[in-house]
Each structure stands twice: as C-alpha cells, then as structure tokens.
Chain A
C-alpha cells in the first residue's frame, strides 16, 4: 500500500513552454500533497503544500504564478511549470499523506526530472 506515482518520469522542453507534472496516490486518499524540488547534489526543498479543494500554500521565494498547483481530487495533484526556463531544470518530487492515518507519514513519488533547453 501507500504508493504514489508521478507522470511523466522525465521531460525535456523548450524554454518558454509550460510543463505539467501529475502526482497520484494510487491506493489511498490524500487531502494534502506536497511538492518538492531538488537540484543536483542538494537536499529536497519544499515548494508548496497542495490542499484538495483549496488554494495551495507556497513556501517563501516560490512564485505561485509560475508554479501552478491544482489539487482537484483526493488522489491527484498537478504542478504546472509555466514559461519554463533553463534554471527551472530540476528533479520535482511530490509526496502525499494518507488521510486515514493519524500520524504524519508522507509517501513520496518517484520524481520527475525536468530539463529545459
């Protein structure tokens, strides 16, 4: 149980285009999902907290108009990188919390590697 998937696993796009990344909880419902970014040789940095049915909460320094988050159902959150630039190239990882569990265990997706040319 507690499987989180991401799609696509990797994507290459041209500068100026938008890229959508999906995060799905496969066998549990998640009212809250989290989006992280990881640059090479660095740790994961939280970008935003995605709440089902409401607006996402962004961390300081993360542009909400550039990184659009939609959490329309209890099993799906999407992150859209708008007008992508080479500096947005990174490893994007989502996590989801099983709302049936009382404790704060988060389960992570396999990540999406984005390369902007």
Chain B
C-alpha cells in the first residue's frame, strides 16, 4: 500500500473549519484514501473514504486532488469533541486488506 505523510500536529479554533492534509504521492489507481480518527483511549472511528471524487458525509468532507497525490479532510465546524489523532490511510479495495496506521495528525481544537 502507498505510504502517507501527515503533519504531526495541528491546532484549530472551535467553530472554524479544520483542514487536515495528507500526501500520498505513490498512490496507485486502485487504492482508496481512508480517514479514521482516534479520540483518546478509544478505538479508531471511521470518518470517510474516497477514490478520486470529492466525498461528503455527515462528519466531514474529503477533497482529493486531480492527480490523487494528496488529499484534505475537512471538518466544517470543529468542536472540542473533534480533538483526536487523525489517520490518513491508503488501501486497495477488496480482499480484506490490512490497515497500516502511521503516526497521524494530532488535532487540537482550541476553545
């Protein structure tokens, strides 16, 4: 699976949009971009995933660049409960692929 690079930490003011970047320059055509987050002392929570089109759900939006070498997770109105470590993972579809967690981005929402 392609390697991902994320900034180790970010701060965002409460109520503002949090934009979390992820680089995956070696991504191949059949690999999806998945985002999970882990709030302290809990299991990871699935947020969103996409292949090449931008995606939106009730939690977040995912913007994938046209060349697919990077993406941005957007939390439109960050709350204190969004403080967590956010993981960007690239994985092939089908086949019970293993998730490989990197170090992620520690997002802190500031009151």
Contacts and interface: CB of A to CB of B under 8 A. Distances in A.
B101 A103 contact: no
Interface residues of A, number: 26
Given A44-B44, A108-B43, A108-B45, A97 B96 contact: yes
Interface string A32-52: 101010000001111001000
Interface residues of B, number: 26
A62 B71 CA distance: 33
Nearest to A91: B41
A46 B99 contact: yes
Interface of B: 32, 34, 36, 38, 41-46, 49, 87, 91-104
A32 B100 CA distance: 16
Given A43-B103, A44-B44, A110-B43, A103 B98 contact: no
